[in-house]
Amino acid sequence: MKRAWLVVLIMTLTAFAATHAQTPASSPTPVKESSTPAKEKDDDTITTFKVNVRLVNVFVTVTDASGAPVANLQRGDFQVLEDGYPQQISVFSKESELPLSIVLAVDASLSTKKDIKTELDSARRFVHAILRPVDRLSLYQFTEDVDELIHFTNDPRKIDTAIDRVQVGAATAMYDAIYLGADSLLDRTGRKVMVLITDGGDTVSHADYHSALKRAQEAEAILYSIIVVPVESDAGRNTGGEHALIQLSEDTGGKYYYASDAASMEKAFNQISQELRMQYLIGYYPSRRFSDSDFRRIDIHLNGSGSTSGYHVRHRTGYYNAKAK
């Protein structure tokens, strides 16, 4: 009896072992690699979303009825609107010491040949007067092509040498010069300025007015246009090009000047230099998004007290929420 029971037990154990030998061991479930760490199970976990609101900086020039810069205004004198809605001023300073990055672009086309020496002599004096140790200047010439004669530098001697290399060409790629000059300012810090000396005509640019303006706005560049004309009422002038330059200057917070001789050229450069030394910096964090457009419109006004009557405010008209590179 004991022997029979032992046989049954051995047969049972053998069958059990055989059954498990035929069943493959379960392999672990593959784990998909992920750059995101595994999240611990926690019913009390709170998901936090971080919103990055960019400080919008606007350089503002205020002039009186005679066109002279005004330097005694306070934060409370200004009101800022974005897309028509009031914004709180977070940053305010006068006569900003922020570095200047200046693109000086000279029209060397055939139509400016007789004035080119005057242009270059005035430009040279401007460079020596404006540059501080923290500032940098890049020199461009534009004919049928646009050439950067020297990249951003603080050395007046190197800039003088580059000015001596300006050569007269045939056509005028004015919009290309604005586009490429603004493009070089995209990644610069501080205040970004472009000074354009031209007779206002464009003949061969690949860029057009709208793309040049957009690039300047993306770069947050302030455009000053010195429009060279022999006589302001000359019927042979390119008035369409002049009007385009005037609008470009206004939309970027800059200004335009007419120059017909050495004295008026010198006066224009002196006024640009004075303005760049007497600007206001206003910064704000947009309170919310009011428009589906990538372009945000900025309006800055004086509050209208009697002491500011007759003052004129200039600044860039807006900014692009995402800069194209």
Domains and CATH numbers, the chain: 56-95+280-320 (no CATH), 100-276 (3.40.50.410)
Cβ atoms of 127 and 162 within 8 Å: the answer is no
- pLDDT tops 50 at residue 147: yes
What was the pLDDT predicted at 276? 93
Going by C-alpha positions, the residue among 182, 166, 251 that lies closest to residue 218 is 182
Cβ atoms of 61 and 316 within 8 Å: the answer is no
> Positive or negative CA dihedral for 287, 253, 299, 210?
negative
Amino acid at 162: A
Cβ atoms of 146 and 180 within 8 Å: the answer is yes
pTM value? 0.81
Q: How far is CA 190 from CA 54, 102, 139, 224, 236, in A?
A: 16, 11, 18, 17, 40
What was the pLDDT predicted at 111? 86
What was the pLDDT predicted at 23? 42
> How does residue 239 score in pLDDT terms, banded at 50, 70 and 90?
confident
Q: How far apart are CA 107 and CA 181, in angstroms?
A: 13
Cα Rg, the chain, nearest whole Å: 33
What was the pLDDT predicted at 76? 94
> How does residue 234 score in pLDDT terms, banded at 50, 70 and 90?
low
Structure tokens at 68: 């002279």
- pLDDT tops 60 at residue 323: no
What was the pLDDT predicted at 33? 37
Q: How many CB atoms are located within 10 Å of the residue 65 CB?
A: 9
- pLDDT tops 90 at residue 233: no
Q: What is the pLDDT averaged over residues 253-279?
A: 94
Going by C-alpha positions, the residue among 125, 131, 116, 72 that lies closest to residue 259 is 116
Mean pLDDT, the chain, whole residue set: 84
> How does residue 230 score in pLDDT terms, banded at 50, 70 and 90?
low
Of 7-11, 127-131, 315-319, the poorest mean pLDDT is in: 7-11
* Higher-scoring residue by pLDDT: 181, 293: 181
In the Cβ-directed half-sphere of 276, how many Cα atoms lie within 13 Å?
A: 27
Angle at 215 between CA 279 and CA 298, to 5 degrees: 50
239 φ, ψ (degrees, to nearest 5): -70, -30
What was the pLDDT predicted at 4? 44
- pLDDT tops 60 at residue 300: yes
In the Cβ-directed half-sphere of 235, how many Cα atoms lie within 13 Å?
A: 0
* Higher-scoring residue by pLDDT: 229, 151: 151
pLDDT tens figures, 206-215: 999 999 999 9
Q: What is the pLDDT averaged over residues 252-261?
A: 95
pLDDT tens figures, 8-60: 444 544 444 444 444 444 434 443 333 344 444 444 444 443 445 689 999 99
Q: How far apart are CA 99 and CA 189, in angstroms?
A: 8
> Per this entry, what is the length of the chain?
325
